[in-house]
Amino acid sequence: MAPLRPILLFGACAFVLATLLPSGKAQAAPAKPRVDANPPAVAADQVLVRFNPDVGPYFVKTVDIMLGLKGAQPAEGAYTWRFGIGERGTRDDYATLFATLPYVAQVWPAPGGGTSPRPSERSYVEGELLVKFKRSVSQAQIDAFNARQGVTVLDKISGIEVWRLKLPSGKTVEAMQKVYEASGLVEYAEPNHKVSVPLLPDMMMPAIPEPAPQAAGTGSVEVQLAPGASAALVSLVYGTPILSQTPEGCVRLAPTPKSSADTAARILRLCPSVLSATVTS
């Protein structure tokens, strides 16, 4: 894996719990936000997000940094911010992410509006692919399939059964990802993203509420966090409760009320603190 480069967040970037719950107690439901019939103009490398009225600017900045975006800026309209899209997905991926967050009222463009260009800067390691095979697949099948593709096994990420593969000369990451995704042996395949884990200063960590564990149900998402990442902060930003977690950074999260387990896994992979996210029964 590429080396991790932790980032310390200072001053205005720190999460302030009072921006959401000023009194420390449950608040009354906010007034229903206005929804525009005519969508505003949005640049091709941005998404426009209107938050619920009880969301403050410090929390918006924390969301921006935790998701690896490119600087949230206030936009015209109450509670509305512009976000530059991150390096781990398309604009539609990030529109889908924001649309599932429980504290978001509206997103432009709406999810499902077609493809959009990814940022030109490479955000993954050239010549490497991360692959998770299905649990029913034997080691012999894995070895045979990898041999047919001409890849070299670099290592295996313990705990989540993800293989890091070196691609043969002349093969692109995009092309080999499609080959592996098309196989019935493979659960998912993705580039080896360059990870930069956002962290809050230690003195701020006690202010982050960690949801109480709940009974895991059908369609939860198993997440492997990068070293040093905060499960509580990922849970808070995504608005999804922690069902269980291990000291090794393996966390089981419930989907949000606005997303399926498949969608939850897709949008969790956009977070720089997340190494992998898979749907579990």
Burial class (CB in 10 A: 0-12, 13-18, 19+), 142: middle
Q: Encoding tokens for residue 98?
A: 């924001």
Q: Encoding tokens for residue 218?
A: 């059908």
Question: Which of 68-72, 138-142, 156-160, 209-213 is modeled with the greatest confidence?
Answer: 138-142
Residues 102 and 16 in one domain: yes
**Residue 265: count of CB within 10 angstroms of its CB:** 24
CATH of the domain at 12: 3.30.70
Q: Encoding tokens for residue 138?
A: 């034997």
Q: What is the pLDDT of residues 129-174, one digit of tens each?
A: 988 899 899 999 999 999 999 999 988 866 567 888 999 998 998 8
What is the average pLDDT across 12-39?
41
For residue 88, the one-letter residue type is: R
Distance CA 189, CA 44 (A): 27
Distance CA 83, CA 46 (A): 5
CATH of the domain at 180: 3.30.70.80
- Which helix (H) or strand (E) segment holds residue 267: the answer is helix 261-268
What is the average pLDDT across 50-61?
84
Q: Is residue 2 part of a domain?
A: no
Instruction: Please state, rounded to an integer, the average pLDDT across all residues of the chain.
Output: 75
Q: Encoding tokens for residue 137?
A: 């697949």
Q: How far is CA 51 from the centre of its chain?
A: 19
**Residue 42: count of CB within 10 angstroms of its CB:** 16
Q: Encoding tokens for residue 182?
A: 């098309």
Residues 128 and 102 in one domain: no
Distance CA 244, CA 113 (A): 35
Q: Residue 193: what pLDDT?
A: 63
Number of residues that make up the chain:
281
Q: Is residue 82 part of a domain?
A: yes
Distance CA 119, CA 121 (A): 6
Structural domain boundaries, residue 50: 7-24+38-108
Q: Is residue 234 part of a domain?
A: yes
Residues 60 and 142 in one domain: no
